[in-house]
Amino acid sequence: MTIGQKLSEKRRELGKTIKEIELVLKIRSSYLEALENDDFDKLPSPIYVRAFLADYASYLGLDKDKILAEFDAFYLPKPEEEKLKPSKLALPEWSGAFLALLFLAGLFSWGLYYLLSYTKTEAPIQKPQIKDKTTTPNPVQSVETTPPLEKTTSTENLAPVIPKKVTVEVRITGPVSWIRTIIDGEKVFEGIMRKGDKNKWEGEEVRLRIGNASSTEVKVNGKIVKLERTASGVVEKVFRGGNNE
């Protein structure tokens, strides 16, 4: 008996419908049907499959550890079955000589341009002609100068200082959600968070990928951010200091 058959048979024994279980576990009915039909490819990733199997099996009263062990043994790819990664594209043997010739040609062009620019003759400087006639300078009139007004800086029109870092808090309010966090270009977290779990990150740029937006609460600098609902339930957000997407 497959995993899906065990789940389906136990659900029917309990007299439960998929819609009833969807409301309790907050797992979409399409995902529950995929689990019962062993269509694990319809779920976003194996991480989601294991999390949903654990919750579904526990709700039905089945041994979730045995269910997960069976899934790992029969449905996860084994190392010897993984396809070999394609080798890197090999460059032809003549490519090294071609690149060297290209470099020498560029170097020669630059040297020729520098030589021509250096050997250009400058136009002769004409000396000013000295007149024999003497001129009587005009009397200099005294002009009263007014001291320049001191500039005053006003702080009224200054723009508010934008914080360099942003603080992002995540709290799981539903059964489960998958979270991936990238701070300043570096992945710092990826995994399943369950109801009640909290996490907090800070950086100049915080990127979140949320697998179940309906079960996730996000606060940015202490304020709750509304997460738009999508068909897949997956939401991506980018938060920066003073500029959030």
In the prediction, which pLDDT does 128 show?
Answer: 52
In the prediction, which pLDDT does 171 show?
Answer: 95
In the prediction, which pLDDT does 88 show?
Answer: 45
In the prediction, which pLDDT does 143 show?
Answer: 47
**How many Cβ atoms are within 10 Å of 35's Cβ, its own excluded?**
24
Q: What is the mean pLDDT of each run of 10 residues along the chain (245 residues)?
A: 92 93 93 92 90 92 92 74 48 68 81 68 52 52 52 52 80 89 92 91 91 88 85 83 66
- 3-state SS, residue 162: coil
In the prediction, which pLDDT does 34 show?
Answer: 92
Compute the distance between CA of residue 45 and CA of residue 31 in angstroms, rounded to an integer.
12
Name which of 231, 181, 229, 236 is nearest 30 in CA terms. 231
Full DSSP string of 2-45: -HHHHHHHHHHHHT--HHHHHHHH---HHHHHHHHTT-GGGSS-
Is beta strand 186-194 parallel, antiparallel or unpaired with respect to 235-240? unpaired
Q: Is the pTM of this model over 0.85?
A: no
In the prediction, which pLDDT does 61 show?
Answer: 92
